[in-house]
Amino acid sequence: MSDHVAQSQPVLSMPSSVPSTLMPSSVTSKRHPCSSASVTYISRRKLVEVVDGLLGVMTPSSTHIKPSVHSFSDGPSDELCPYKAWLATCPSALASFDRIIASAQGKKIALFLDYDGTLSPIVNDPEKAFMSPEMRAAVKNVAKFFPTAIVSGRSRDKVFEFVQLKELCYAGSHGMDIMLSSADSESKTEDDKETKLFQPASEFLPMIIEAYDSLVEATRSITGANVENNKFCVSVHYRNVDKQDWNSVAQLVDDVLKSFPHLKLTTGRKVLEVRPVIDWDKGKAVEFLLQSLRLDDPESVLPIYIGDDRTDEDAFKVLRERNCGCGILVSQLPKQTQAFYSLRAPSEVMEFLDSLVRWKEQQQPAHVQE
């Protein structure tokens, strides 16, 4: 799967069942005009936006976020929110495994997995965030029984290089670059076996490339800063930057975004994410995947989403609002979350995946297992 999809392959159209609220609404960039036939984009309506750690005011002429001197934090301290007390509201998915399985009785499980911090450990060099062979085997095994998708902030190509499993769906760039595989589809016709793409932010590609080049140049003087092009978004990593320079990084990013009013800034785990201003995120990507794979019936499907970052909260929120499915947050610290359950580390994620496989194997008739 090099670029896993040939350039000539079709771009997946939005299913007719997708509510109009999922479709981005219109805004036109003077620097990068959008064609009238393309997907349109959301207008900037919010005057104030708070992005979990970055506080800023959004004026009608600007969508970037002005960093404050208290821009970065890793969440509540143990003194304010003890982990054990937090588990009362966000219990371990391993300890609650029987409860989760009970809610899946008579239903098909659909599995959605973040990558960094979920399937692989968080590392100083994002290019070395490799998953272990044991984790790859666990994901491969679980995908034999359940439709499985990777939903990552990484580019789709990059996350595929890390995972290297063709039997999965991949949603890169926070869901702005989705690859559907017929391995997860109920339909098995020859036409459906063709891999398809859905890229709601394709018109922003020239702008993203320009912003990436500008951010690389702007942060060149900051030791440890790393700018990553994730195709439909740009990630500015400051994990290896001296803490006294963190706000300098934020200020430089903010200054660059003044030239790109149709890009917005969000935050992750010691990373600043620059994305197009469209009404699309990991939650929308999960809804799209469920509908595209004919898995959106809450009476017959239980979606499970496992992730560790702030961007995964959009997916947790969707599952909570659907009142069907469960989000599982990967964290060793208590955090405010829309997830129902928690796991402490990728090692527990692997244990949870293995438990799903063992449970499913026990449900299979003996002649099917042989």
Name 48's bridge partners: 57
- Which residue matches tokens 């998953």? 131
> Is 296 a catalytic site residue?
no
Task: Please give the full DSSP string across 179-219, using - where no structure is assigned.
Answer: EE-GGG-S---TGGGS-EEE-TTGGGHHHHHHHHHHHHHHT
Residue 200, φ and ψ in degrees, nearest 5: -70, -10
Do residues 147 and 295 touch, judged by C-beta distance below 8 A?
yes
DSSP for 1-51, please give it. Answer: -TTSS-TTSPBPPPPTTS-GGGS------SSSPPPTTSPP------SEEEE
Residue type, 196: K
Contact predicate 215/228, CB 8 Å: no
Q: First vs last Cα of the chain: how many Å apart?
A: 31
- Strands 326-330, 341-343: pairing kind: parallel
Residue listed under structure tokens 């098909």: 108
Which pair of structure tokens corresponds to residue 11?
């771009």
CA distance 174 to 152: 5
Q: Could you count the other beta carbons within 10 Å of the beta carbon of residue 257?
A: 23
Question: Which candidate in 74, 78, 114, 297 is catalytic?
Answer: 114
User: CA 322, CA 49: separation in Å to the nearest integer?
Assistant: 25
Distances 20 to 17, 23, 35, 191, 348 between C-alpha atoms, Å: 9, 5, 20, 27, 38
How far is it, in rounded angstroms, from Cα 319 to Cα 149?
A: 15
Question: Which tokens is 193 given?
Answer: 């076996």
Q: Which residue, 17, 20, 9, 22, is CA-closest to 284?
A: 22
The residues annotated with a catalytic role in the active site are 114
